[in-house]
């Protein structure tokens, strides 16, 4: 996918390409990280110039609380150097994530190298 | 952060992002932040990229992330109360230095008072009073007697207040108030809060005595451990604590004694109210001492501070509970200042005192007058709820007089009615229910009250028709026995007359409330006064008829003993209550005509309304009255007809205001023992006098000076306007 529009192109063209490019993400699963450390996963429904994103069927993920971490650590068998904890998850439905709070956006993509 | 929680250094906690949301088969997550950002920048302003199945309308229902009002999941400082406690947000004791501990306890008490007032003013309990971590874990404070006793009494008080408000159910619009899901309102032993409070109070007053004795070099009789370490501050701290504890005790007593059935605790409540107010003044005064110690350590913003000392209290976090305040979205709440909180409680106590000093008038007219008068001071929810619970208990007035007895009295039914079959009549039962509803509605806030009163008018009309039909039917049945027939006739007449009178009273109150709520614009005053005029005419007529019927009954009773000519003479005198209404009628008629004449002669600034016609506004304002046919045959054309030909010159010839003045003067003597009515008459007189003069000025100068400007103000009366004439 070519994503670097050449400066020679007119603004009109850039706009069209931006629209096409963004449209290609519609209904794909996005993973948006926000400023307070949470992460939202849902289908992209809409976006605009301010990078506000509307996600449908979204889930919210947050890091485990220190208490949960502590408990898990206590449970863990001595000698293990790492403990794997699930993030806390809940369904939030249709959401708008304002552009100003977005720290990172990831998209779920097909990876041919994973086919075994 | 992850490593922080681990106890052993060897254990390294890794939280793999998205461990539980592994991408689907054969897919990976790719960071596209920069690409998307660049693409978005190339979009035009306001342009949206969206699929066919999505539009702006659908976006309206989306939750906005990171918006404090919508996003309940925003990461706060602490995830839970326990975590906050673990991190030392609410230590017990607050400090190992007793002086600091006492100082901090006082700050907590003060902040809780501010929270409580904020709650009473309509915010959620969870985010105000229960933002205090000490309150959320009732058992944690048990080693700290002072704090423990205070927390207990606070929880018990909140519970008592919630029960008053939810029992009264006057809070439909203020329903946040009673929400207490998940809050530990029933702390173990909270019901015994007073005994602990008394014990703590006793200890501190001993400490105060000991400290006073010490300073006057007297021998101390008993060896008492002082409240804290600093001898110079001992007296000040003891006093500051004592007034705070005593206020809580007496305030709790006020709430419980006011709840006693049939108003039996009102006298006792008044004593506690008086003490509560004086303790509040002591609390207010203690601020000087507390600030002098805290000075420097705290912000100087005196107006906004939420404690007496100005220090931030320890152990509060409003964000902890924000998820408990469902079903409303969590809001950021500004807690009232400490000063405003004290002012609020003083006002609340004064309002409660008015209720407690009420004489429990058995006559409905008296009750209505009291409630309307009480509402004029704009009491808050808690006071209104108490009033309502006093008025209506177990479906009876004051829990004492059955509704039939109340109707019996107000409609002046003949003696025999008390045990008459009529009280079992289905519609009489419904009528009683309507009276109860009316009393309850009158205790709600003005906006809600007006809307409900307007709607209830239709019920009153319906019950009138039903009663009339039912009586006709019954009347037919008893025709055979002529004696009984007479009594029944009497009862029917009296009840029907009273129902009509009550309906017009509600209608006039409905119209008056519109002024209080500022619902009318100056260009609409004319139609509002006109409607008041037609309603008041009916009210006067029904009151007059009812009183005549009442006199008739009394006269007959008296006749058996003595035939007197005096009675006949009295019969022809118009009763003062009717004259009182008459006086208002003259005033509103004068105002209607004056406003209409000024409009017709283009002497009043008319701002043409671009949105709707006068007729439409007429319907919007009086829709509920019109639907209930109050009064019958009243419509916009009638208003139009009666005002189009009004002229200043004719108004001066027949000055309605002079009539109002005259009647007011005449009737004053009849109300010499009713200060409220007297004050009202005086106000009416003033408005009438000013308007009468204004009318003359307009008539004489207006013709010569086209620049004369007339405006209306409510300087002498809350809803009867006074004309102000100015030369521009």
Complete DSSP assignment for A17-30:
HHHHHHHTTTTSEE
User: Which residue pairs, CB below 8 angstroms and at least 24 apart, start in B367-372?
Assistant: B367/B391, B367/B397, B367/B439, B368/B442, B368/B505, B369/B676, B371/B439, B371/B442, B371/B443, B372/B442, B372/B509
Q: How far apart are CA B493 and CA A25, in angstroms?
A: 79
Cβ pair A39:B17 closer than 8 A: yes
Q: Please, what is the end-to-end C-alpha distance for chain B in angstroms? A: 73
Average pLDDT of the segment spanning B102-119: 96
Rg (CA), chain B: 33
With vertex at residue B444, the alpha carbon angle to CA B117 and CA B166, rounded to the nearest 5 degrees, is 65
Give residue B277's region: left, alpha or beta (phi > 0; psi -120 to 50).
alpha
The DSSP annotation for B142-184 comes to: GG-HHHHHHHHHHHHHHHHHHHHHHHHT--GGGTTTT--TT--
Specify whether the CB–CB gap between A89 and A58 falls below 8 A: no
Give the residue from chain A lying closest to B47, CA to CA: A48
Give the closest residue to A64 by CA, choosing from A84, A41, A91, A88: A88
pLDDT of residue B560: 47
pLDDT of residue B327: 54
Q: How far apart are CA B462 and CA B460, in angstroms?
A: 5
Q: Which of residues 388-417 of B touch A (CB under 8 A)?
A: none
Q: Which of residues 574-633 of B touch A (CB under 8 A)?
A: none
Cβ pair B21:A61 closer than 8 A: yes
Residue B115 tokens, joined: 């929270």
Q: From the CB of residue A86, how many other CB atoms can be counted at a distance below 10 Å? A: 15
Average pLDDT of the segment spanning B153-175: 84
Specify whether the CB–CB gap between A80 and A46 falls below 8 A: no
Residue B486 tokens, joined: 């007479």
Instruction: Express each pLDDT in B381-405 by its tens digit.
Output: 999 999 999 999 999 999 999 999 9
Per-residue pLDDT for B497 more than 50?
Answer: yes
A43 - beta bridge partners? A29, A56
Lowest mean per-residue pLDDT among A59-73, B32-46, B93-107, B705-719:
A59-73
Cβ pair B11:A59 closer than 8 A: no
Gap from B29 CA to chain A (nearest CA, Å): 5
pLDDT of residue A1: 45
Q: How far apart are CA B335 and CA B343, in angstroms?
A: 14
Q: Which is more confidently placed, B726 or B423? A: B726
- Specify the 3-state DSSP secondary structure of B614: helix
pLDDT of residue B183: 84
Cβ pair B4:A66 closer than 8 A: yes
Q: Which of B2, B20, B58, B65 to mutate to test the interface with A (most CBs of A within 10 A)?
A: B65
Average pLDDT of the segment spanning B578-593: 94
Instruction: Express each pLDDT in A4-56 by its tens digit.
Output: 545 545 677 788 889 999 999 999 999 999 988 899 999 999 999 999 999 99
- Specify the 3-state DSSP secondary structure of B12: strand
Of A26, A86, A101, the CB nearest to B65: A101
Per-residue pLDDT for B727 more than 60?
Answer: yes
Average pLDDT of the segment spanning B488-496: 83
A9 at B interface, C-beta within 8 A = no
Stretch (H or E) spanning A80: none
B586 - beta bridge partners? none
- Specify the 3-state DSSP secondary structure of B64: strand
B2 at A interface, C-beta within 8 A = yes
Q: Which of A9-13, B290-294, B600-604 tops mean pLDDT? A: B290-294
Cβ pair A86:B28 closer than 8 A: no
Gap from A98 CA to chain B (nearest CA, Å): 7
Of A22, A84, A114, the CB nearest to B49: A22
Lowest mean per-residue pLDDT among B184-198, B233-247, B605-619:
B605-619
Instruction: Express each pLDDT in B524-554 by its tens digit.
Output: 999 999 999 999 999 999 999 988 887 776 6
pLDDT of residue B459: 95
Of A50, A64, A110, the CB nearest to B15: A64
pLDDT of residue B479: 52
A61 - beta bridge partners? A39, A89
Cβ pair A47:B42 closer than 8 A: no
Instruction: Express each pLDDT in A49-65 by its tens digit.
Output: 999 999 999 999 988 87
B60 at A interface, C-beta within 8 A = no
Q: How far is CA A46 from CA A49, A105, B202, B443, in A?
A: 11, 14, 67, 49
Q: ipTM, 2 decimals?
A: 0.83
Residues in CB range of A67: below 8 A, 6 or more apart = B5, B79, B80, B82, B83, B86
Lowest mean per-residue pLDDT among B10-24, B63-77, B211-225, B628-642:
B10-24
Of B20, B26, B45, the CB nearest to A87: B20
Q: Which of residues 25-84 of A touch B (CB under 8 A)?
A: 25-27, 29, 31, 34-41, 45-51, 54, 56, 59-67, 69-70, 72-74, 76, 78, 80-84
Residues in CB range of A4: below 8 A, 6 or more apart = none
Give the residue from chain B lying closest to A27, CA to CA: B51
Q: How far apart are CA B210 and CA B225, in angstroms?
A: 9
Q: Which of A61-75, B48-62, B151-165 tops mean pLDDT? A: B151-165
Specify whether the CB–CB gap between B247 and B280 falls below 8 A: yes
Average pLDDT of the segment spanning B474-494: 68
Residue B687 tokens, joined: 């408005």
Question: In terms of DSSP bridges, do strands A88-97 and B63-64 run parallel, antiparallel, or are they unpaired?
Answer: parallel
Average pLDDT across chain B, whole number: 85
Lowest mean per-residue pLDDT among A63-67, B13-17, B266-270:
B13-17
The DSSP annotation for B184-212 comes to: --S-TTGGGHHHHHHHHHHHHHHHHHHHH
Q: How far apart are CA B485 and CA B478, in angstroms?
A: 6
Per-residue pLDDT for B347 more than 60?
Answer: yes
User: Band of the pLDDT at B564, cuts 50, 70, 90?
Assistant: very low
Residues in CB range of B84: below 8 A, 6 or more apart = B77, B78, B90, B133, B317, B320
pLDDT of residue A95: 93
Q: Which of residues 79-108 of B touch A (CB under 8 A)?
A: 79-80, 82-83, 86
SS3 content of chain A, % helix, strand, coil (to 5): 25, 40, 35
Cβ contacts below 8 Å, chain A against chain B, sum to 223
pTM: 0.79
Average pLDDT of the segment spanning B492-497: 88
Q: How far is CA B581 from CA B128, B183, B505, B677, in A?
A: 47, 52, 11, 11
Handedness of CA B434, B440, B443, B446 (dihedral sign): negative
Q: Which of B77-86, B287-296, B473-482, B654-663 tops mean pLDDT? A: B654-663
Domains of chain A: 29-106 (2.30.30.100)
Give the residue from chain A lying closest to B55, CA to CA: A46
- Burial state string for B98-113 with b = 16 or more CB within 10 A and e = fewer than 16: bbebbbbbbbbbbbbb
Q: Which of B42, B69, B75, B78 to mutate to test the interface with A (most CBs of A within 10 A)?
A: B42
Rg (CA), chain A: 19
Specify whether the CB–CB gap between B702 and B708 falls below 8 A: yes
User: Band of the pLDDT at B217, cuts 50, 70, 90?
Assistant: low
Cβ pair A94:B62 closer than 8 A: yes
Q: How far is CA B283 from the centre of its chain?
A: 26
Of B19, B33, B47, the CB nearest to A84: B19
Q: How far is CA B527 from CA A99, B619, B622, B640, in A?
A: 53, 11, 10, 9
Token look-up 């009509």 returns B500
Q: How far apart are CA A57 and CA A93, in angstroms?
A: 4
């Amino acid at each position: 996918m070519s994503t670097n529009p050449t400066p020679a192109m007119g603004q009109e063209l850039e706009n069209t390409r931006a629209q096409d490019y963004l449209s290609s993400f519609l209904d794909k699963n996005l993973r948006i990280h926000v400023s307070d450390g949470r992460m939202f996963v849902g289908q992209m429904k809409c976006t605009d110039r301010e990078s506000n994103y509307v996600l449908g069927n979204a889930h919210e993920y947050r890091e485990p609380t220190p208490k949960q971490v502590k408990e898990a650590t206590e449970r863990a068998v001595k000698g293990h150097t790492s403990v794997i904890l699930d993030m806390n998850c809940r369904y939030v439905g249709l959401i708008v994530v304002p552009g100003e709070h977005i720290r990172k956006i990831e998209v779920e993509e097909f990876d041919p190298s994973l086919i075994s | 952060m992850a490593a922080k929680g681990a106890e052993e250094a060897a254990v390294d906690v890794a939280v793999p992002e998205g461990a539980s949301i592994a991408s689907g088969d054969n897919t990976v997550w790719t960071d596209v932040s920069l690409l998307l950002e660049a693409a978005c920048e190339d979009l035009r302003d306001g342009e949206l990229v969206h699929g066919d199945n999505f539009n702006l309308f659908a976006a309206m229902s989306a939750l906005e992330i990171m918006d404090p009002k919508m996003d309940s999941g925003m990461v706060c400082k602490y995830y839970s109360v326990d975590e906050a406690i673990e991190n030392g947000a609410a230590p017990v004791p607050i400090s190992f230095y007793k002086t600091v501990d006492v100082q901090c306890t006082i700050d907590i008490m003060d902040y809780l008072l501010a929270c409580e007032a904020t709650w009473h003013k309509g915010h959620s309990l969870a985010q105000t009073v229960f933002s205090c971590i000490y309150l959320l874990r009732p058992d944690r404070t048990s080693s700290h007697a002072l704090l423990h006793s205070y927390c207990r009494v606070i929880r018990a008080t909140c519970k008592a207040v919630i029960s008053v408000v939810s029992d009264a159910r006057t809070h439909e619009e203020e329903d946040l108030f009673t929400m207490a899901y998940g809050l530990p309102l029933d702390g173990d032993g909270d019901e015994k809060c007073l005994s602990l409070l008394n014990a703590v109070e006793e200890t501190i007053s001993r400490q105060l005595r000991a400290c006073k004795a010490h300073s006057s070099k007297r021998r101390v009789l008993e060896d008492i451990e002082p409240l804290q370490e600093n001898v110079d501050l001992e007296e000040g701290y003891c006093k500051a604590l004592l007034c705070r504890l005593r206020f809580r005790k007496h305030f709790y007593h006020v709430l419980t004694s006011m709840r006693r059935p049939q108003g039996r605790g009102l006298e006792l409540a008044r004593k506690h109210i008086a003490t509560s107010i004086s303790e509040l003044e002591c609390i207010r005064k203690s601020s000087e001492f507390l600030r002098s110690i805290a000075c420097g350590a705290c912000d100087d913003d005196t107006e906004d501070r939420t404690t007496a000392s100005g220090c931030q209290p320890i152990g509060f976090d409003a964000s902890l509970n924000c998820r408990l305040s469902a079903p409303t979205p969590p809001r950021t709440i500004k807690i009232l200042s400490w000063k405003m909180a004290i002012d609020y409680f003083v006002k609340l106590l004064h309002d409660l005192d008015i209720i407690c000093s009420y004489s429990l008038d058995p006559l409905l007219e008296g009750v209505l007058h009291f409630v309307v008068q009480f509402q004029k001071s704009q009491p808050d929810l808690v006071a209104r709820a108490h009033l309502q619970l006093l008025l209506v208990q177990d479906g009876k007035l004051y829990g004492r007089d059955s509704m039939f007895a109340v109707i019996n009295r107000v409609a002046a039914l003949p003696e025999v009615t008390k045990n008459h079959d009529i009280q079992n009549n289905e519609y009489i039962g419904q009528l009683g229910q309507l009276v109860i509803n009316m009393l309850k509605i009158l205790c709600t806030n003005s906006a809600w009250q007006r809307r409900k009163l307007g709607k209830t008018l239709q019920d009153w009309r319906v019950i009138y028709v039903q009663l009339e039909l039912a009586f006709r039917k019954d009347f037919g049945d008893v025709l055979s026995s002529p004696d009984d027939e007479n009594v029944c006739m009497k009862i029917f007449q009296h009840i029907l007359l009273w129902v009509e009178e009550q309906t017009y009273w509600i209608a006039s109150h409905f119209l008056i409330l519109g002024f209080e709520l500022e619902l009318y614009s100056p260009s609409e005053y004319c139609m509002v006064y006109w409607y008041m005029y037609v309603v008041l005419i009916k009210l006067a007529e029904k009151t007059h008829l009812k009183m005549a019927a009442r006199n008739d009954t009394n006269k007959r009773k008296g006749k058996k003993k003595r035939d007197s000519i005096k009675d006949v003479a009295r019969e022809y005198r118009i009763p003062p209550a009717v004259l009182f209404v008459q006086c208002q009628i003259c005033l509103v008629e004068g105002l209607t005509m004056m406003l209409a004449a000024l409009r017709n002669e283009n002497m009043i600034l008319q701002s043409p309304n671009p949105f709707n016609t006068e007729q439409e506004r007429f319907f919007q304002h009086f829709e509920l009255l019109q639907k209930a046919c109050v009064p019958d045959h009243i419509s916009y054309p009638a208003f139009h007809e009666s005002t189009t030909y009004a002229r200043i010159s004719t108004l001066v010839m027949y000055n309605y205001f002079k009539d109002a003045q005259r009647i007011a003067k005449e009737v004053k003597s009849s109300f010499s023992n009713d200060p409220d009515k007297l004050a009202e008459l005086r106000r009416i007189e003033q408005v009438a006098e000013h308007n009468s003069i204004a009318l003359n000025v307009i008539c004489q100068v207006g013709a010569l000076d086209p620049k004369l400007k007339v405006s209306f103000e409510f300087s002498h009366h809350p809803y009867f306007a006074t004309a102000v004439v100015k030369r521009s």
